[in-house]
Amino acid sequence: MVMPTAGAGDTEARRPLVARRHKDGEGDGLDDGDASFSGAVFNLSTTIVGAGIMALPATMRVLGLVPGLTLVVLAAVLTDASIELLMRFSNAVGAASYGEAMGDAFGALGRGLLQLCVHHHGVFEGWFGPNRWNGRFAILLFTTLAVFMPLTCFKRVDSLKYTSALSVALAVVFVVITAGIAMIKLTRGQIPMPMLFPDVHGTWASIFKLFTAAPVLVTAFICHYNVHPIHNELKDPAQIKPIVRASLVLCSAVYVTTSFFGFLLFGEETLDD
């Protein structure tokens, strides 16, 4: 009986984005295994913190501070648990990338769904008004050619540690500015008591409104697709667990501070983004 063998197409589809490391130190042409702990934390934190941070204060407006902040922390805990399960599954099946893990679990369809992405624009239109040079197409074209393309030319995720550190630093600066303004207004007595719990009137509309905060909290800590490349570049793969937890603690602190002071600053007038 002749066992079927995988074709060239199947082998290519299962090849990971980052080369596997071998026990004898040989790789597939990449110098793996020297990524720093801090660089990995910054890279993962950049994956987590995104434009959704602007929607967190509005989530507090819907849920109230106590349930809202509790759910932010709970989301971080669940993310840590889900990443640990993901890495255990990946180690069991020998998957070296998120796409390969999804392909092993859900087939080609699950792998193909990972190619979807969403872009947002409108900041420059708000500043300068609608023009051809600051429209959606122009902004996406410039960002792709001038920002994303040069960064994607790097072979290693660890090469982005400085840009990732800058991204995290900008998020911290945003938090510091928001907290500073809120503290000044608080000392002047210009901020009323914030809502601590959701205002539910017993109607279906008010109850349904609570679920509008779910998408923000569910996607707040999404970073699973970037864990494998970071893991593959570590000198000690066992470091991935403390790296994930350090990144989640850092991002949780940014999220909680932004949520608290953002809602404290604007109260019931907090906009969705």
pLDDT at 78: 93
- Is 12 within a domain? no
- Is 252 within a domain? yes
| 97 touches 18 (CB < 8 A) | yes
pLDDT at 37: 87
- Is 14 within a domain? no
Q: What is the mean pLDDT of each run of 10 residues along the chain (273 residues)?
A: 43 43 44 74 86 83 89 93 91 84 77 52 52 66 73 66 78 85 84 80 70 82 87 87 93 91 82 67
How many domains are contained in the chain? Answer: 1
pLDDT at 23: 42
- Is 3 within a domain? no
List Cα–Cα distances, 152 to 111, 114, 146, 166, in angstroms.
Answer: 20, 17, 11, 17
- Is 24 within a domain? no
- Is 172 within a domain? yes
Structural domain that includes position 57: 31-114+157-269
Tens-digit pLDDT profile for residues 28-46: 444 456 778 888 898 888 8
- Is 188 within a domain? yes
- Is 125 within a domain? no
Tens-digit pLDDT profile for residues 201-245: 666 666 777 787 888 888 889 888 889 888 888 888 888 999 999
Q: pTM (2 decimals)? A: 0.67
Sequence-separated contacts (24+) of 105-110 with Cβ below 8 Å? 108/13
